[in-house]
Amino acid sequence: MEKRTTDFGFQDVPIEEKAGRVADVFHSVARRYDVMNDLMSMGIHRLWKRVTLERSGVRRGNSVLDIAGGTGDLTKKFASRVGPTGRVVLADINASMLNVGRDKLIDEGIGHQVEYVQANAEALPFPDNTFDCITIAFGLRNVTDKDKALRSMTRVLKPGGRLLVLEFSKPTNALFEKVYDQYSFQVLPRIGKLVANDADSYRYLAESIRMHPDQETLKAMMEAAGLDRVEYTNMTAGVVALHRGVKL
């Protein structure tokens, strides 16, 4: 029987190997992740996350799941919004990223309402209809089976709950796309080498962005997973898109 494969950047790898390879990437970059985010995006990632926060509709007392939450940028903001009666779960498949996020938030005095769970987005360890809002920011492209993950997220949303997917996408301007490609494949690995001593991981990140579904494809995938009123907002000329869907 032919072995089933999936993408790891521009490589074809056996499906069962992808999660481990992605894990190695994030074990490598975890400690320098925040610094690299600021350098790679020139700080614009903070604006993208602010838009996500505003579109989430999260309010006091809500229950929020931040998947692939990494170093906790969104979790910190959500904790402030839900208040002491709410609940925020910072989930990440990668133990190194989760530990960095937990240590960072504890050092910043983030409250008791935050929980930390190592979890695979494809098989979330929560009961049906648990969360008012789920976010996954810059994590879906690293998931092996994206359709399965979207179904898993939809399952644990409450009826009326919102899923927000913030992810790199396809630029809407051809000229800008050429400049963006040059930056991604020529400059980004060099920054990774200088700052994190790891060019290969950042080369993978650039490749994984190109392999991720475009805006309309991801919208259709979210609808197929059972979400309604799916829409997306392009930011920075489509370099990033925020998709939002509601569970009926």
Residue type, 83: G
Residue 132 is which amino acid? D
92 labeled binding residue: yes
Residues 196, 189: Cα–Cα separation, whole Å: 10
What's the rounded Cα separation, in Å, for the pair 238 and 186? 20
Which is nearest to 67 in space by CA: 113, 143, 130, 135?
Answer: 135
Backbone angles phi, psi at 157, to 5 degrees: -75, 145
Contacts of 68 (CB under 8 A, 6+ apart): 91, 92, 93, 121, 136, 137, 138, 139, 140, 142
Tokens (6 digits) for 4 = 């089933």
What are the distances in angstroms from CA 20 to CA 40, 48, 77? 24, 28, 30
According to the annotation, is 121 in a ligand binding site? yes
- To the question of whether residue 73 is assigned a binding role by annotation, the answer is no
- Between CA 54 and CA 43 the distance in angstroms is 18
Separation in Å, CA 140 to CA 42, 52, 195: 22, 15, 25
* Cα distance between residue 239 and residue 144, in whole Å: 22
- List CB contacts of 29: < 8 A, sequence separation 6 or more: 36, 192, 196, 198, 201, 202
The annotated binding site is made up of 71, 92, 120-121
The annotated binding site for S-adenosyl-L-methionine is made up of 71, 92, 120-121
